[in-house]
Chain A
Amino acid sequence: MNRLTRRGALAMLGASALAVPVHAERFAGHYRPQAEPLAEGVWLVRGSDAPIAFENGGAIANSVILATADGPILFDCGPSQAYAQALSALAQGLTGKPPVLVLISHLHPDHALGASAFDPAIVAALPGTIAEIERDGPGMSDAMFRILADWMRETQLVIPARRLAPGELSVGGRALTLLAMNGHSGCDLVVRDHASGIVLAGDLVFHDRAPATPDADLAAWRGALDRLAAIPRTLLVPGHGPVDRDGSAIAQTRDWLAWLDAALRDAAGRGLDMTEAGDMPIPPRFARMAAARYELQRSVSHFYPAIEASVLPRIDQPEGGSQPNGGRTGNRPITK
């Protein structure tokens, strides 16, 4: 009976709690989204170019407000009920009407969970995104509540009820072209506004902020960047970071993804472990990118085990003695 138990030690907590600093509950502040005019009836609402953190309330993604005669369209709506309410009020203040349509670019919570603030009937996404939100939404919501706590108050998981089809969409006199791509996630919506010539790229493009890869297929992503580069436009709004007026954000995103793919393969080929790969030098040309080390270490988590499995040869010797693949190293592309 002298054996120590976890339960016994936890019982001690009552006695020792006074000596242990207790993490005080922190209360959320107020979201203060700001609208920056891009063209007639088009406003950008910038996210903070940082990791999701309590300090920024998860408001890290860009949103866009598009005025129409029927009321504004929102392209992405932030991480939470409170953010989306503030964004909705901002759009109503600018246009005089409440939002008539909310477009969700892809499944990630910093873009999609703000749907909580709207009637699901006006929340729209491509069918692939809807399926991904149905699959991953509860887990993403849990993760956001864990990090953002009070900022997420009253946020419910809303599945977009309106299914978008690629092609032309006209709302209140504003004509949009919707394009279905993939690579950053399994389904990424791109919107081109005819009147302004502005392209809304969602998270297929990051600008001076390192790309996030939790659901990425790097080869497909590079293909999507090629398609994006070919779309005539006046300017491009990335999912994160400042507006791109000269195509440099597409090139920068492509450069980072190509470097990341090659660098992780090189690290695995040199026998580095995950912590070492996450600490590798980041080339100076990426010095402008916010959250670069953070996203590199996330990407190591997303890709490294599969890369190792493709780089390291089999060395077990079943009956017969020959190596199952002849000892050759594989060369599979990175896919999730």
Chain B
Amino acid sequence: MAGTALIALMTGAAHAAPAPDPLQSPMWDMQAERLFGHDRVVFDPRVHIAVPMLAENQHVFPVTLDARALPDVRRIVVLVDLDPIPVPVDFVPGKAAPWLGLRIKLDQRTPVRVAAQTADGTWHVAGLWVDAAGGGCSAPPASRAHGDWAVHLGEVRGAVWHGTDGGGAAVTRLRFSVRHPMDTGLVDTIPAYNLETVRVTAGGETMAQMTVSGSMSEDPAFTLLLPAGETRPITIAMRDSNGREFTGRLP
């Protein structure tokens, strides 16, 4: 079995020919092959990833990604090489800026990366090693310990701010969170149960879409940058792995 995988890996390496991984991750070749297939992959400092200087809580590790320095970003994935569920979010920015604030789980010391795909199909990748204690994905969420997760399931909070981004350009900032246990399926007796899709619309027009997994933190929280002066009613439509739908509306 390992032999089959080995051959597959070597074949993959032959046609994808990714650049040598600056982080020297043991999982990069496999993850890159799985995620990017035949697409061109470059390591690009124009992709920014902001994280705290330490992973104080491996269950809630904040990441802010910024690919605004790239032209025409079509899709962004976050890749956590050594997590058992390695892609917490797959983000199609659409009308929103290629910028996203989110929180993820870390199961051990691992590279955390952002890969942004531009219109020519090329993936632009940046990342860093993050040291973390174990168990972010394999310990039960706090609401399971409290026993109150079902009481608060699907509670959506959020707000919109009309202001400027870091560079002084006008922008509409949207933040929202939803109460959800985001069970990974890696905890004994607790099956996987997580948010799967998030779609943000303004006045019925799709702004951004995300596919998310159980390696997003419990009670996921998102920050998006929408075009300046977006005053139409915003709807956040979410669906989880049991088919339950949750909706938030602003204003």
Binding site for B on A (CB under 8 A): 1-13, 16, 19-21, 51, 142-143, 146, 214, 270-271, 273-276, 278-279, 293-294, 297-298, 300-302, 305, 308-309, 312-317, 324
| Residue in A5, A21, A270, A316 whose Cβ sees the most chain B Cβ within 10 Å | A316
The minimal Cβ–Cβ distance linking B150 to chain A, given in whole angstroms, is: 15
Interface residues of B in 141-169 (CB under 8 A from A): 154-159, 161, 163
A271 to B158, CA, bound (A): 9
Task: Given A143-B133, A274-B62, answer yes or no on A8-B223 (Cβ-Cβ < 8 Å).
Answer: no
Interface presence of B105 (CB below 8 A): no
The minimal Cβ–Cβ distance linking B101 to chain A, given in whole angstroms, is: 3
Q: Would you list 5 pairs from A and B whose C-beta atoms are within 8 A, ordered by A residue?
A: A2-B4, A8-B9, A11-B2, A274-B60, A275-B51
The minimal Cβ–Cβ distance linking A193 to chain B, given in whole angstroms, is: 35
A271 to B171, CA, bound (A): 12
Beta-carbon nearest neighbor of B59 in chain A: A301
- Are B34 and A4 in contact, with the CB atoms below 8 A? yes
- Are B5 and A11 in contact, with the CB atoms below 8 A? yes
- Are B101 and A301 in contact, with the CB atoms below 8 A? no
**Residue numbers in B under 8 Å from A8 (CB-CB):** 1-2, 4-6, 8-9, 30
A301 to B26, CA, bound (A): 29
The minimal Cβ–Cβ distance linking A109 to chain B, given in whole angstroms, is: 13
Q: Which of B39-47, B89-97, B172-180, B182-190 contacts A (4 or more CB under 8 A)?
A: B172-180
A21 to B25, CA, bound (A): 10
Interface bin, chain B: 35 or more
**Residue numbers in A under 8 Å from B34 (CB-CB):** 4
**Residue numbers in A under 8 Å from B161 (CB-CB):** 270-271
Residues 53-67 of chain B, each 1 if its beta carbon lies under 8 Å from chain A, else 0: 110110010111000
A135 to B53, CA, bound (A): 27
A301 to B6, CA, bound (A): 40
The minimal Cβ–Cβ distance linking B18 to chain A, given in whole angstroms, is: 14
Beta-carbon nearest neighbor of A16 in chain B: B26
- Are B5 and A273 in contact, with the CB atoms below 8 A? no
- Are B155 and A316 in contact, with the CB atoms below 8 A? yes
- Are B101 and A276 in contact, with the CB atoms below 8 A? yes
